[in-house]
């Protein structure tokens, strides 16, 4: 019985060490955002890209949400995971295809609206939020939040 108790105690200590230490994500700060239109090489799939830059390269996965409003009142919202880039681990910036922010409930014809309205110099407000995990209740506090105007 003593061996079983000792093994259970050791397993508990190892689990606590795993959960509390070494697995914590370090904080990151959003430094800039830019709308790129020159990433596409003819496919038409990458003619609207957000370039989101941080104070340091991502070493862990973070969830982000984006909400933008153009000068014509076109609104687009969405979110997804950002992961460290294996191909370029020292890059502080992430490229996000704007079309991927369209969800399954987006109205028909949304893609041409992105082509028409989401372009450099035409975005009045863009709000970015970074989370440690995907928000579930909507009450989670972001790790970082930044509003960009007139981009």
Output the tens digit of pLDDT for each of the chain's 151 residues: 555 454 444 444 444 444 444 458 899 999 999 999 888 766 667 889 999 999 999 999 999 999 999 999 999 999 999 999 999 999 999 999 999 999 877 878 888 999 899 999 999 999 999 999 999 998 999 999 999 999 9
Query: Greatest CA span in the chain, whole angstroms?
Result: 72
Global pTM reads 0.79
Residue 67 lies in a domain: yes
How many angstroms separate the CA atoms of 15 and 7, rounded? 12
- The closest alpha carbon to 80, from 94, 66, 59, belongs to 66
**What is the CATH classification number for the domain harbouring 60?**
2.60.40
User: Which range of residues forms the domain containing residue 52?
Assistant: 25-149
> Domain total for the chain?
1
What would the DSSP string read from start to end of 100-111? GG--TTSPTTHH
């Amino acid at each position: 019985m003593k061996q079983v108790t000792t093994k259970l105690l050791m397993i508990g200590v190892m689990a606590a060490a795993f959960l509390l230490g070494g697995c914590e994500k370090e904080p990151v700060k959003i430094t800039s955002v830019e709308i790129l239109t020159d990433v596409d090489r003819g496919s038409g799939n990458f003619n609207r890209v957000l370039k989101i830059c941080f104070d340091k390269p991502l070493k862990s996965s973070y969830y982000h949400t984006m909400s933008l409003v153009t000068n014509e009142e076109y609104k687009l919202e969405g979110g997804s995971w950002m992961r460290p880039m294996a191909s370029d681990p020292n890059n502080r910036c992430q490229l996000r295809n704007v079309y991927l922010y369209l969800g399954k409930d987006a109205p028909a014809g949304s893609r041409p609206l992105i082509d028409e309205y989401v372009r450099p110099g035409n975005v009045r407000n863009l709000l970015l939020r970074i989370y440690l995990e995907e928000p579930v209740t909507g009450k989670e506090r972001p790790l970082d939040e930044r509003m960009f105007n007139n981009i």
